[in-house]
Structure 1
């Protein structure tokens, strides 16, 4: 007999705050990217994104159960199978439900974190005029790829919200998703908010020091 799913707390506070801080940082970095006037701001924002991404990697090992990599990084074959099911059943809701990120979404998270690290690093070399045009062009290319991955991620969130009959963006605001009561998390993991903000601040400082 299938266990009843209810709307319960799944995403802890550091995951949610980190998610929206990273999204905001990327948006601001894109807005300020072509302006010499905001060059310092652009660098600081990039450093903030780097700090958040590094925190998320650490949190992927010590955070609440749904936030850990072990909860959503699955074999590639499972991600492919999920995408095949999603391609045919996303409008009918006939798609396997996952408490944490689905198998394909898990790889999207890894890709986003990788780009949130590589993009600021290449930007740091450009900001400090190291490597000449090489790092400048590399930074631009990596940033464009980052935006492409974000676009794919947003499309996946939209399709996933329809397929699973729940708003994934709303879940990342409230922290609540459909799950069984025993999968719910407690507020105890909120302590991670302090190191998250510290990492974001240190990242900004590193970028412009």
Structure 2
């Protein structure tokens, strides 16, 4: 413990300040990080709605029986969500657009070699982008094969009457024996990646998908995604149009 001398000439014991227990991200925040809106509300809502829908689809699908009607309804809801995300990938906030995270070979290699510009992936990094696109593609395939399939046990998808019996049988095999396991693998990979970035790289990806913001270096001058009343009204209109299209497609 160091000794200081007061005005009277007496030595005074001065306690040392306790060591900082702040997280690296919190310490950096005082040294040049700014809060940037990366994920707009429509994107965040889609993300959690899709997660809930997939959980519901898994539960109703494995329950079977009378729950298959709800399985089909949830499939229609999920298809509307997916169509919304595809459209939003072209007209949504900056970091929700596919153009902002398209994982070209050059971007992926630069990221793996740590030679990339972090400003290019304030949203999804190239590896995360590959995961997102794979997830969207597999979910879409699961939805279409489920809607066209015939399980041979009395349940047929809402689009089964528009395909041949052979196509319906193939769709059922793809849906049950391949697609569900591929989708499960992608979900587990997604969760593992979130845990890795939280524990190893100290990046709070889940929190960013809740409040929409990330702490980024001020010197990087990362542009924010637009997230205002106009954006949300536009998203609601797109979602309604997608829901109407799915309703027409499945005959609701």
The TM tier, using the shorter chain, reads 0.7 to 0.9
Higher helix proportion, which one? Answer: 1
Residue in structure 1 matched with residue 99 of structure 2 by the alignment? 70
Q: 1:114 aligns with which of 137, 144, 147?
A: 137
Offset of residue 76 of structure 1: 2.5
TM-score (norm 2): 0.69
User: What secondary structure sits across from 1:52 in the alignment?
Assistant: helix
Number of the residue aligned with 1:190: 232
- 3-state DSSP of counterpart to 1:133: helix
Deviations 1:120-143 (A, max 9, x none): 100001233553432211111112
Q: Per the alignment, in what secondary structure is the counterpart of residue 225 of structure 2?
A: coil
Alpha carbons 1:46, 1:120 under 8 Å: kept: yes
Distance in 2 separating the partners of 1:168 and 1:117: 24
Residues 36-75 of structure 1 mapped to structure 2, 5 A cutoff: 36-75=65-104
Structure 2 CA distance for aligned equivalents of residues 205 and 25 of structure 1: 20
Work out which structure has the larger RCO, using CA pairs closer than 8 Å and 6 or more positions apart in sequence.
1
Partner residue in 1 for 2:21:
none
2:36 counterpart SS class: strand
Give the alignment partner of residue 32 of structure 1, picking from 60, 72, 76.
Answer: 60
Alignment of 1:68-147 (within 5 A): 68-83=97-112, 98-126=121-149, 127-128=156-157, 129=160, 130=165, 131-140=167-176, 141-147=178-184
- Taking the aligned partners of 1:49 and 1:174, their CA distance within structure 2 comes to 23
Deviations along 1:128-170, whole A, 9 cap, x unmatched? 3553432211111112211111111111122123344221011
The higher radius of gyration belongs to: 2
> For the residues of structure 1 that align with 2:200 and 2:76, how far apart are their CA atoms?
36
Unmatched runs of 5 consecutive residues or more in structure 1: 86-95
**Equivalent in the alignment of 1:93:** none
C-alpha RMSD of matched pairs (Å): 2.6
Identify which of 44, 54, 63 aligns with 1:16: 44
Counterpart in 2 of 1:90? none
CA distance in 2, matches of 1:202, 1:112: 22
Say if 1:55 and 1:195, in contact at 8 Å, map to a contact too: no
TM-score by length of 1: 0.82
- Separation in 2 of the partners of 1:195 and 1:156? 33
Name segments (4+ residues, structure 1) moved above 6 Å.
none
Count residues in correspondence: 198
Q: Find the aligned partners of 1:41 and 1:106 in 2 and give their Cα distance.
A: 31
2:10 aligned partner: none
> Do structure 1's residue 166 and structure 2's residue 203 form an aligned pair?
yes
